[in-house]
């Protein structure tokens, strides 16, 4: 099962991102992803993230969300890690706003792998010290190092 250091890059990691709304945040994330993965069309990434979110919130509670979707031109699972400047509403089950997100994109045919990675990410993000350390990071390099130092 891939660990974060196998699906995340420093280029897809961002600290203190302004997040006015889910839609604006997804636009920012889609730009972040496609600037590092030029084979992925911006509109496809954005539309699939939004479509998945319409099925139900990817907020998992405690200020954390794990947006995820399958993308046609995605060749291997990839992630993006984002902390927000200020928490935003995300319709999470505990009704707390979100300030920490791990976004997962997988190939369309990666069904079991998609579920396995989501379970691993959820397990990592259930660790309070891990999340606290990521929230304290002030630049993307430090955030990336924290994320990749912990394995599920």
Class of residue 111 by CB neighbours under 10 A (exposed 0-12, middle 13-18, buried 19+): exposed
Greatest CA separation found in the chain? 37
Exactly one of 22, 48, 68, 114 is catalytic; which is it?
A: 68
Contact 103, 34 (CB under 8 A): no
Contact 46, 114 (CB under 8 A): no
114 has catalytic annotation? no
Q: What is the DSSP letter of 138?
A: -
Rg (CA), the chain: 14
Secondary structure (3-state) at 56: coil
Q: Which of 3, 111, 114, 128 is nearest to 81 (CA)?
A: 3
Q: Which helix (H) or strand (E) holds 122?
A: helix 111-125
Catalytic residue annotation: 68
């Amino acid at each position: 099962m891939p660990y974060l250091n196998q699906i995340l890059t420093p280029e897809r990691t961002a600290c203190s991102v302004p997040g006015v709304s889910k839609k604006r945040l997804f636009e920012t994330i889609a730009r972040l992803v496609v600037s590092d993965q030029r084979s992925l069309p911006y509109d496809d990434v954005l539309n699939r993230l939004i479509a998945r979110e319409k099925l139900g919130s990817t907020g998992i509670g405690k200020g954390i969300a794990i947006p995820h979707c399958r993308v046609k031109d995605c060749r291997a699972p990839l992630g993006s890690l984002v902390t927000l400047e200020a928490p935003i509403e995300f319709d999470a089950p505990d009704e707390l706003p979100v300030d920490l997100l791990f976004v997962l994109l997988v190939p369309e045919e990666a069904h079991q792998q998609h579920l396995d990675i989501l379970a691993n990410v959820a397990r990592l993000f259930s660790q309070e010290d891990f999340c606290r350390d990521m929230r304290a990071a002030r630049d993307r390099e430090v955030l990336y190092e924290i994320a990749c130092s912990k394995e599920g």
